[in-house]
Structure 1
């Protein structure tokens, strides 16, 4: 494991997210209740900036095509908000993929993420 400090616990309030850069990669950090979650900041659908998306509980909605992911494990809740033929073609061209998540641990007031 390769844990890296990406923030301190006083930097995020419940229900908030922020983007940080680690070794050239954009990493999303979110706080929900007393838990912290971390994932890739770019949506696996079309690369939307997830830190500017909407967070409801652990469900993260991409601002670009409204793809939704659960931050607890990255699974896809909704691939896009498209419907009908457009959705079918879209899934053929780019099949649903989960959001990559990272393990988070707290050490005193430091938020550490396993970026490997």
Structure 2
């Protein structure tokens, strides 16, 4: 799998996110308390732009009228239909047995390690369709 440098740690402070396109895929990178997570920007429910949704906490209830709020900012709510996903695991809160958002491996590396490479230049196929006359002056 190819590795891509997408941001500096200062670009995504705790509680923030950065949306970007990597290798043709829209991805959201989230900083949750100093840990970084990357998710595909597509809700598995109906294809909404998941990573544009709000970060919320987890609400649970053991009995009617009593609610517990935990994991503040760790659940991502789809802006289309409100389905919620755990940013840490990609697991759906609405259908945890069958629905999961795609996660990508994220690491934080020192600048000198990234500068060493190896670097791979993106290349494109090129063809020559006709010849040209060039004059140097």
Q: Aligning the two structures, in what range does the TM-score lie when normalised by the shorter sequence?
A: 0.7 to 0.9
Unaligned runs of 5+ in 2: 57-72, 115-137
Kept in 1: contact 2:20–2:28 (CA 8 A): yes
The offset of 1:96, in angstroms, is 4.5
Equivalent pairs counted in the alignment come to 95
Please tell me whether residue 70 in structure 1 is matched to residue 96 in structure 2. no
Q: What is the TM-score with the length of structure 2 in the denominator?
A: 0.63
Unaligned runs of 5+ in 1: 80-94, 111-116
Higher helix share: 1
User: Which one has the largest radius of gyration?
Assistant: 2
Q: Which residue is equivalent to 2:118? A: none
Q: Runs (4+) of structure 1 moved beyond 3 Å?
A: none
Q: What is the TM-score with the length of structure 1 in the denominator?
A: 0.73
RMSD between aligned alpha carbons? 1.9
Kindly indicate whether structure 1 or structure 2 has the higher relative contact order, using CA contacts under 8 Å at least 6 residues apart.
1
Distance 2:37 2:15 in 1: 11
Please tell me whether residue 52 in structure 1 is matched to residue 68 in structure 2. no
